[in-house]
Amino acid sequence: MAAVNAARTVIGVIEMFIGMNANVILKLLIYDAGVVKLKLTIVRIVKNKSVEEFEPDPYIAAVMNCICWVYYALPFIHPDSMLVLSINSVGLALELGYLVIFLIYTNNNKQRLKIIVCLGIEAVITGVIAAISLTKFHTHASRSIFVGIFSVIFGVILYSSPLTIMRKVIQTKSVEFMPFWLSVAAFSNGLIWTIYASLKFDPFIMTGNSLGALLGAAQLILYWYYHKSTPKADQKKPCEVQLPAM
């Protein structure tokens, strides 16, 4: 058991070390797609004082996903999950920061209302999950199962978001809207957290991230297949993909 815990810690440290060197925690590499896009998009949004055609939906979904994993990793729900807690807390801050910028610069009142309403609904859902888990379940195991189920559901929804991009790649025979490093990030993120979950079996962390690794691998295959057919003009355009990810 001590060896397993040590291995999980080492993986977590490697995870965080690599991420820090890349200015983002490895767990947030799927957010790195968001971070890289976020940096490019912030400059563009601030310069143009408009969010243009960008949509907030993936980031709204990412907020709920992060909330679930942060709550799942709290000591009174699932003890000894400090890495999951700290990394998803950073992810939550990043996603909320993006939405704040979106609220400031969107000229579409319907989209602004959508963000506010969705965040309100997510707050209510979080409150309901918290209330039920604390009043109806009285052991770490039962609370972990209850909260873990919701975490997996929202994680699967989030990890499924690249499917629309993959469909676009197949239709256009162009990888313009699916940058290579985003795909590498999705694959690496899912794979490493799957390994982390397998060392001290955690079915909830493993389920969503295994799916993420598979989708990331599928994106890399698509990138390899369609890279040469991507028009050169497309390759010169800045790629700004609205993907979040855990």
Is residue 36, in this structure, part of any structural domain at all? Answer: yes
pLDDT band at 36 (very low <50, low <70, confident <90, very high): low
SS3 69: helix
- 236 has pLDDT over 60: no
Q: According to the model, what pLDDT value does residue 244 have? A: 41
Q: According to the model, what pLDDT value does residue 20 have? A: 39
The number of distinct structural domains making up the chain is 1
What is the torsion angle, in degrees rounded to the nearest 10, for the CA atoms of residue 152, residue 155, residue 159 and residue 161? 120
List C-alpha distances in Å: 164 to 111, 171, 215: 20, 11, 12
pLDDT band at 140 (very low <50, low <70, confident <90, very high): very high
What are the tens digits of pLDDT across the range 142-179?
999 999 999 988 888 777 766 777 887 888 888 776 66
Give the whole-number percent of the chain exceeding pLDDT 90.
23
Average pLDDT score over residue span 176-193: 75
Is residue 150, in this structure, part of any structural domain at all? Answer: yes
Average pLDDT score over residue span 100-124: 91
Is residue 240, in this structure, part of any structural domain at all? Answer: no
Is residue 23, in this structure, part of any structural domain at all? Answer: yes
Higher pLDDT among residues 178 and 214, named by residue: 214
Is residue 193, in this structure, part of any structural domain at all? Answer: yes
Q: What is the mean pLDDT of the chain?
A: 77
pLDDT band at 37 (very low <50, low <70, confident <90, very high): low
Is residue 241, in this structure, part of any structural domain at all? Answer: no
Most confident of 72-81, 159-168, 208-217: 72-81
Higher pLDDT among residues 11 and 61, named by residue: 61
Please, are residues 105 and 45 in contact by the beta-carbon 8 Å criterion? yes
Domain that holds residue 9: 2-235
Is residue 243, in this structure, part of any structural domain at all? Answer: no
What tokens were used for 229? 């057919």
Is residue 19, in this structure, part of any structural domain at all? Answer: yes
Please, are residues 196 and 205 in contact by the beta-carbon 8 Å criterion? yes
Lowest mean pLDDT among 85-94, 209-218, 232-241: 232-241
Report the 10 Å Cβ neighbour count for 42.
14
Helix 180-199 / helix 29-48 crossing angle, nearest 10 deg: 140
Please, are residues 187 and 211 in contact by the beta-carbon 8 Å criterion? no
